[in-house]
Structure 1
Amino acid sequence: MMLPLPEKFDSNEIFIIFSTVLSWTLMFILPRRLPAVTITIIWTFNVFLAVLADITLSVKPYELYFTIDHKKHELFDVLLHFVTYPTLSYFVVNFYQYNKPKGLKYLFYIIFWAGIAISLEWISVKFHVFTYTGWKLYLSFITYLFVFAATIWLANFVEKKG
Structure 2
Amino acid sequence: MILPLPERFDANEIFIIISSLLTLVLLFLLPRRLSVVTIHVIWTFNIYLALLADITIGIKPNDFYFTIDHEKHELFDIFLHFFTYPSIPYFVVNFYQQYKPKSLNLLVYIIFCAGVAIALEWISVKFHVFTYTGWKLSLSFMVYLVVFAANIGLSNIIEKKYPFK
The structure 1 segments of at least 4 consecutive aligned residues displaced by more than 4 Å after TM superposition are none
CA-atom RMSD in angstroms: 0.6
Contact 1:6 1:74 in 2 (8 A): yes
Rounded to whole Å, the distance in 2 between the matches of 1:95 and 1:159 is: 14
The residue that corresponds to 1:133 in the other structure is 133
The residue that corresponds to 1:143 in the other structure is 143
Counterpart of 2:78 in structure 1: which amino acid? Answer: V
The residue that corresponds to 2:21 in the other structure is 21
Rounded to whole Å, the distance in 2 between the matches of 1:69 and 1:3 is: 14
Following superposition, the deviation at residue 24 of structure 1 comes to: 1.2
The 5-angstrom pairing of residues 42-57 of structure 1 reads 42-57=42-57
The residue that corresponds to 2:109 in the other structure is 109
Matched, 1:94 2:99: no
Q: TM-score normalised to the size of structure 2?
A: 0.97
**Which structure 1 segments of 5+ residues have no match?**
none
**Which structure 2 segments of 5+ residues have no match?**
none
1:81-100 deviation line (CA, Å, top 9, x unaligned): 10111111111000001110
1:9-34 deviation line (CA, Å, top 9, x unaligned): 00000000011000110110011101
Counterpart of 1:140 in structure 2: which amino acid? Answer: S
Rounded to whole Å, the distance in 1 between the matches of 2:72 and 2:2 is: 13
- SS of the aligned residue for 2:63 comes to coil
Rounded to whole Å, the distance in 1 between the matches of 2:84 and 2:61 is: 27
Contact 1:24 1:87 in 2 (8 A): no
- SS of the aligned residue for 2:131 comes to strand
Q: TM-score normalised to the size of structure 1?
A: 0.98
Counterpart of 2:71 in structure 1: which amino acid? Answer: K
The 5-angstrom pairing of residues 16-95 of structure 1 reads 16-95=16-95
1:110-142 deviation line (CA, Å, top 9, x unaligned): 000000000000000000000000000000000
**Sequence identity, in percent?**
69
Following superposition, the deviation at residue 35 of structure 1 comes to: 1.0
Rounded to whole Å, the distance in 2 between the matches of 1:24 and 1:112 is: 22
The residue that corresponds to 1:12 in the other structure is 12
Following superposition, the deviation at residue 161 of structure 1 comes to: 2.4
